[in-house]
């Protein structure tokens, strides 16, 4: 077991800082924290990432952005006014908003992924500056940290990969913000980093959970807590399933399986850094902070898990066959995956037979047309639209019968613990 620091990491998503009352609740949670050092990782406030994506789209096509920028400014100023933050503490907030405005006056260039990373991270930067100003106004011992001085990535903009060796060298940047024996909070941003050539980069949508895990790993933190608007991790998304059950504990292995299949509570990349150093992850409710929530940790063995359901609607099932009716062999798989990669398509499920290879993917007409263009000379492409992908972890036959009633099973994969089905409504 590696020696732990005296630090814990808290991650707050957009919903937990969506308005003035939510920000006050964050301060309340921090006031209840008994640990000396808390490192806070915060997402953009409310729906500001969506709003900034709208600004970015207007910018790259040459449409006016002034009104959208004013909405961004007004949103944050309204929250600051409701919180009673003095004007002098808001200077860093306004400086960042002005910097965004100056960026939008320039040329976005031809690299749309790079231009995205020049605009969208201002949600995290401005939001954390505002929350830091409020915490300072409340006389909490807070310091703001630019996470770009810690997390180094490659230049794969919009979905950057962490340069772990270079990031490890920056771990002292976090430690330098704390004093031995002095209770203190440091607030930083999720979702963003700095590329190895010095540009702001992003880790992919919903990447703030991953940031929390990265920083926990780099600092040898005692734990990572992800604060959400649910009591803990549920066995299914209540948007799709009734009578959901709270899961009290999971092993790292089980959590990795669920995130791989698409469980929405945990970002898929979050678990691995924690597992590597056996850092426990807690999923807790910022609405009911006394509720124990879910613990994900090493050595957590649960003999009987309840069935867990992961549902992906609006899928396309694609079947690919060689035009000469030859068997699917390694060379065919190479062709297929090169075309999938070139088209930007991620595969949710795959299965092969003697003369065909099937993949289930998220529906995206532009990407699908690109894939079909690349494959149509040598392969026949057939597909079913508007299908559903259902994954049941720890399934039982009664549950399967209930969930498939009135539906046609187009494809099925079954192992000891996991059942995956591509379904289509009958009629």
pLDDT digits (tens, 9 = 90+) for 294-345: 999 987 666 667 889 999 999 999 999 999 989 999 999 999 999 999 999 9
In a domain, 23, yes or no: yes
Distance CA 284, CA 225 (A): 7
Domain that holds residue 331: 308-425
* Domains held by the chain: number: 2
| Cα separation values, 214 from 177, 230, 272, 275, Å | 18, 23, 9, 11
Q: What is the DSSP string of 143-164?
A: EE--GGGT-EE-S-TTSPPB-H
Tokens of 123: 């949600």
Do 223 and 368 fall into the same domain?
A: no
Do 318 and 190 fall into the same domain?
A: no
Do 38 and 183 fall into the same domain?
A: yes
Contacts of residue 63, defined as CB under 8 A and 6 or more positions apart, other chains included, come to none
Domain boundary among 171, 201, 228: 228
**Rg of the chain, C-alpha, whole Å:** 23
Taking 50 as the threshold, does the pLDDT of residue 1 lie above it?
A: no
In a domain, 182, yes or no: yes
Do 49 and 142 fall into the same domain?
A: yes
Tokens of 197: 């050539």
Cα 211–113–344 angle (5° rounding)? 90
More confident residue, 255 or 349: 349
79-93, 229-243, 350-364: which has the minimum mean pLDDT? 229-243
Tokens of 143: 């310091």
In a domain, 274, yes or no: no
129-133, 243-247, 356-360: which has the minimum mean pLDDT? 243-247
Q: Strands of 156-269 (E only): list them.
A: 184-189, 192-195, 200-202, 223-228, 233-234, 246-247, 249-251
Do 18 and 113 fall into the same domain?
A: yes
Q: Are 271 and 213 in contact (CB under 8 A)?
A: yes
Check which CATH number belongs to the domain holding 314 and give it: 3.30.2130.10
Distance CA 418, CA 420 (A): 7
In a domain, 261, yes or no: no
Domain boundary among 202, 228, 254: 228
pTM, two decimals, is 0.87
In a domain, 276, yes or no: no
Q: Are 249 and 295 in contact (CB under 8 A)?
A: yes
Do 52 and 176 fall into the same domain?
A: yes
Question: How does pLDDT run across 51-61, given as a tens digit for each residue?
Answer: 999 999 999 99
3-state secondary structure of 364: coil
Do 95 and 218 fall into the same domain?
A: yes
Check which CATH number belongs to the domain holding 82 and give it: 3.40.1160.10
Tokens of 350: 């795959």
Sort 353 into a burial class: Cβ within 10 Å, 0-12 / 13-18 / 19+. Answer: exposed
Do 39 and 152 fall into the same domain?
A: yes
């Amino acid at each position: 077991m590696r020696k732990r620091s005296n630090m814990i990491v808290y991650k707050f998503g957009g919903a937990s800082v969506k308005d003035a009352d939510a920000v006050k609740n964050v301060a309340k949670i921090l006031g209840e924290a008994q640990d000396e050092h808390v490192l806070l990782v915060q997402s953009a406030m409310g729906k500001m990432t969506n709003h900034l994506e709208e600004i970015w789209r207007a910018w790259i096509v040459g449409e006016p952005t002034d009104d959208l920028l004013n909405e961004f400014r007004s949103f944050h100023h309204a929250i600051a006014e409701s919180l009673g933050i003095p004007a002098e503490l808001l200077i860093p907030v306004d400086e960042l908003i002005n910097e965004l405005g100056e960026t939008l006056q320039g040329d976005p260039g031809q690299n749309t992924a790079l231009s995205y990373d020049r605009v969208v991270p201002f949600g995290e930067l401005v939001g954390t500056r505002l929350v830091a100003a409020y915490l300072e106004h409340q006389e909490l011992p807070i310091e703001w940290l630019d996470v770009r001085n810690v997390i180094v990535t490659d230049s794969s903009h919009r979905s950057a990969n962490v340069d772990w060796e270079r990031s490890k060298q920056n771990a002292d940047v976090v430690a330098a913000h704390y004093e031995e024996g002095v209770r203190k909070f440091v607030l930083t941003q999720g979702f963003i980093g700095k590329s190895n050539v010095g540009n702001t980069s992003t880790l992919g949508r919903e990447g703030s959970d991953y940031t929390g895990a990265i920083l926990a790993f780099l600092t040898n933190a005692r734990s990572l807590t992800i604060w959400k608007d649910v009591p803990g991790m549920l066995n299914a998304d209540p948007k799709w399933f009734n009578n959901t059950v709270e899961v009290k504990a999971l092993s790292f292995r089980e959590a990795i399986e669920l995130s791989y299949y698409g469980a929405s509570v945990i970002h898929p990349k979050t678990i691995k850094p924690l597992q590597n150093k056996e850092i426990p992850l807690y999923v807790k409710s910022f609405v009911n902070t006394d509720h124990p929530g879910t613990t994900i940790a090493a050595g957590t063995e649960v003999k009987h898990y309840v069935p867990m359901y992961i549902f992906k609607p609006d899928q396309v099932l694609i079947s690919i066959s060689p035009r000469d009716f030859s068997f699917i062999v390694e060379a065919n798989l190479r062709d297929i995956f090169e075309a999938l990669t070139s088209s930007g398509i991620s595969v949710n499920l795959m299965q092969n037979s003697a003369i065909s290879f099937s993949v289930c993917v998220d529906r995206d007409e532009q990407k699908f047309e690109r894939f079909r263009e690349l494959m149509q000379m040598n392969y026949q492409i057939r597909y079913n639209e508007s299908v559903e992908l259902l994954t049941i972890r720890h399934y039982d036959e009664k549950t399967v019968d209930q969930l498939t009633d009135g539906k046609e099973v187009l494809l099925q994969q079954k192992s000891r613990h996991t059942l995956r089905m591509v379904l289509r409504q009958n009629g």
